[in-house]
Amino acid sequence: MLYCKTDEEVGLLRESNLLVSRTLAEVACHIRPGVTTLYLDKLAETFIRDHNAVPAFKGYGGFPNCLCTSVNEEVVHGIPSDYVLKEGDIISIDCGVILNGWYGDSAYTFPVGQISGDVKRLLEYTRASLEDGVKAAVAGNRVGDISSAVQITAESGGYTVVRELVGHGLGKRLHEAPEVPNYGRKGTGPKMGKGLVICIEPMINMGRKETIQMRDGWTIKTADGKPSAHFEYAVAVDRGKPDILTTFKFIEEVLNKL
């Protein structure tokens, strides 16, 4: 059952997702060689609570922290730790909040200092696959239209799409119907109506598509140890064009100053 939100509910979800956007920008100010992922996690938690919200991931299914911090070959769900970021790393930071009972959820993959041209290209194609997928989040289209667009863009760069992990609906729960895969065929899957809010989140690998789960029960890595990138928007399906509830504008303002 797909739950399409009212305009008022979409407005509340916009507030939650704007707070996530601002939290990621606050974290971006501190991403540099020599910083631990746990330090970034504590910064984010303080920022979220100072804005009258609750970290959505902390305690979710037993997850111990506020952020998912996934470095290099870690695809998603990395647990913040004493790992010290170093020049040339990339780090996917996935953040969720609960504000006024509604969830926000977004992710961005950051360079740490100067990164190689190959890795920079991976980030560019992953971001482009997200943007192309979002264009299909229009009332009357099907979920497979998004999935197909993401896959075509990612694979056009010679990259592979992670199969086991998907995007999802978003609302009063962090994960609602429908699932939003990053691969598939146009014209398949559930039909989307105005007010459906979904998270579109390509997870794109430089090497093979296969992944493995680590012993911590959370961290997902690429099976071949090659880098992976991850970007995520929350989007409200609308007539004619998508309504993107997330913004990367605040993040990019920070990155452009560094």
- The full set of domains in the chain, from first to last, is 7-257 (3.90.230.10)
Contacts of 22 (CB under 8 A, 6+ apart): 47, 51, 250
pLDDT beyond 90 at 229: yes
* Two tokens, residue 100: 């006024």
What is residue 87's predicted lDDT score, i.e. its pLDDT?
98
Burial of 132 (0-12, 13-18, 19+ CB in 10 A): buried
- Give how far the C-alpha of residue 68 lies from the chain's centroid of Cα atoms, to the nearest Å: 10
Instruction: Reply yes or no on whether the pLDDT at 258 is more than 90.
Output: no
The average confidence (pLDDT) of the chain is 98
Sign of CA dihedral 244, 151, 77, 84: negative
**Phi and psi at residue 7, in whole multiples of 5°?**
-60, -40
pLDDT above 90 (res 166): yes
What confidence score (pLDDT) does residue 186 get?
98
Alpha-carbon span 97 to 43, nearest angstrom: 14
pLDDT in tens, 91-123: 999 999 999 999 999 999 999 999 999 999 999
Please say if the pLDDT value at position 212 is more than 90: yes
Nearest to 220 by CA among 114, 42, 63: 63
Whether pLDDT at 88 is above 90: yes
18-60: pLDDT as tens digits: 999 999 999 999 999 999 999 999 999 999 999 999 999 999 9
Indicate if the pLDDT at residue 1 is higher than 90. no
44 token code pair: 């984010």
- Residue 29: its pLDDT value, please? 97
Cα distances (angstroms) measured from residue 226 to each of 29, 32, 180, 229: 27, 21, 24, 10
Kindly report whether the global pTM for this prediction surpasses the value 0.95: yes
Detail the DSSP E strand segments found in the chain. 54-55, 67-71, 74-76, 90-99, 102-111, 160-161, 167-169, 176-180, 197-200, 203-205, 211-213, 220-222, 228-230, 233-236, 243-244
* Residue 157: band (very low, low, confident or very high) from pLDDT cuts 50, 70, 90: very high
The pLDDT assigned to 113 comes to: 97
- Average pLDDT, stretch 235-239? 98
